[in-house]
């Protein structure tokens, strides 16, 4: 039931783009994206709700394909501060009608941005 | 978004003792909070849902008698690790959801059992 993230790790140069994918075998109500730096708690990036959303702020955006049960996180013109481990968390409400708040996280994608 | 605090930030205890971790929602009244555990280089695993004024609900495989959860008010949930053992050493993090369904994590508590 754990969503699958790909790739497992990415190494970029500053200014390059990256895409992180999150795929679930269960129907999703929402997908949540977080970034975690070493030794710290995860920081909320964005949530995408059922209905096939796309969302973005600054140079980080995401999409949610409800039918494919997939979400992708897009990082454009990456900065050194983007380094960290990215997690998607899925809310798999059995009825598909509302969020439960209980997130099941993928295994994480480690992103390293080099100067 | 919700602002969440945890106390303590880190704790070292001896095997067999109990440790209490507090999670506070500073700007949002939370009827529900969530507790996660994260082992080094692993993902976050949901342990339990803390419900204000009622019993917590635990995920499969989590011992409810070992991980006692109390949610006595709309701003405070506590997790007590009873009779801690070295294998309980982990990073414990709570989360609070706001009205937009966004889930915000506290800074976490690093537990080391010697």
pLDDT tens string B75-87: 999 999 999 999 9
Residue A66: closest CA among A34, A32, A30, A33:
A30
Pairing of strands A109-114, A9-13: parallel
CA of B7: how far to CAs of B10, B19, B62, B64, B92, in Å?
8, 11, 22, 21, 11
Cis-peptide, bond into residue A7, ω within 30° of zero: yes
- Name the minimum distance, in Å, from the CA of B104 to any CA of chain A: 6
CB contact under 8 A, B44 and A87: yes
* Section A10-32 average pLDDT: 94
Tokens of A12: 């970029």
> Is B34 within 8 Å of A102 when comparing Cβ atoms?
yes
pLDDT band at A96 (very low <50, low <70, confident <90, very high): low
* Facing A41 at nearest CB: one of B1, B102, B106: B106
Within B49-92, residue ranges assigned H as helices are: none
List the single best residue of B6, B23, B44 to mutate versus A (max A Cβ within 10 A): B44
Other Cβ atoms closer than 10 A to B58: 18
Contact B59, B50 (CB under 8 A): no
pLDDT at A44 over 80: yes
φ, ψ dihedrals at A57, nearest 5°: -150, 140
Rounded mean pLDDT of A81-109?
A: 88
User: Which CA distances in Å does B50 have to B55, B64, B74, B80, B89?
Assistant: 7, 12, 11, 12, 21
Average pLDDT taken over every residue of chain B: 95
Q: Which residues contact A58 (CB under 8 A, 6 or more apart)?
A: none
CA distance A113 to B65: 44
Q: Measure the CA–CA gap between B104 and A47, rounded to whole angstroms.
A: 11
Decide if A109 contacts A86 (C-beta within 8 A): yes
**Residue A53, pLDDT above cutoff 80:** no
Listed in order, strand segments (DSSP E) in chain A are 4-6, 9-13, 18-23, 30-36, 43-49, 54-57, 60-65, 70-75, 84-91, 104-105, 109-114
Task: State whether residue A95 sits within 8 Å of chain B by CB.
Answer: no
DSSP state of A56: E
pLDDT computed for residue A99 by the predictor: 75
Least confident of A20-29, A44-53, B25-34, B45-54: A44-53
Residue A74 has pLDDT above 80, yes or no: yes
Is residue A58 predicted with pLDDT exceeding 90? no
């Amino acid at each position: 039931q754990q969503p699958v993230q790909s790739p497992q790790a990415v190494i970029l140069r500053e200014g390059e783009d990256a895409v992180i994918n999150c795929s679930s075998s269960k129907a999703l109500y929402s997908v949540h994206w977080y970034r975690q730096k070493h030794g710290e708690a995860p920081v909320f990036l964005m949530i995408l709700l059922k209905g096939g959303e796309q969302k973005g702020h600054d140079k980080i955006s995401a999409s949610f394909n409800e039918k494919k049960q997939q979400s992708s996180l897009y990082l454009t013109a990456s900065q050194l501060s983007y380094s960290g481990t990215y997690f998607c968390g899925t809310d798999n409400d059995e009825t598909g009608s509302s969020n439960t708040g209980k997130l099941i996280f993928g295994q994480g994608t480690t992103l390293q941005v080099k100067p | 978004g919700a602002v969440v605090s945890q106390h303590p930030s880190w704790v070292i205890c001896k095997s067999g003792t109990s440790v209490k971790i507090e999670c506070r929602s500073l700007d949002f009244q939370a009827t529900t909070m969530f507790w996660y555990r994260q082992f080094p280089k692993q993902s976050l695993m949901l342990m339990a849902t803390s419900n204000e004024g009622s019993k917590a609900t635990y995920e499969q495989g989590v011992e409810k008698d070992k991980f006692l959860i109390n949610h006595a008010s709309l701003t405070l949930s506590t997790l007590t690790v009873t009779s801690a053992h070295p294998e309980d050493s982990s990073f414990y993090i709570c989360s609070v959801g706001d009205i937009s369904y966004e889930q915000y994590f506290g800074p976490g508590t690093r537990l080391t059992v010697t």
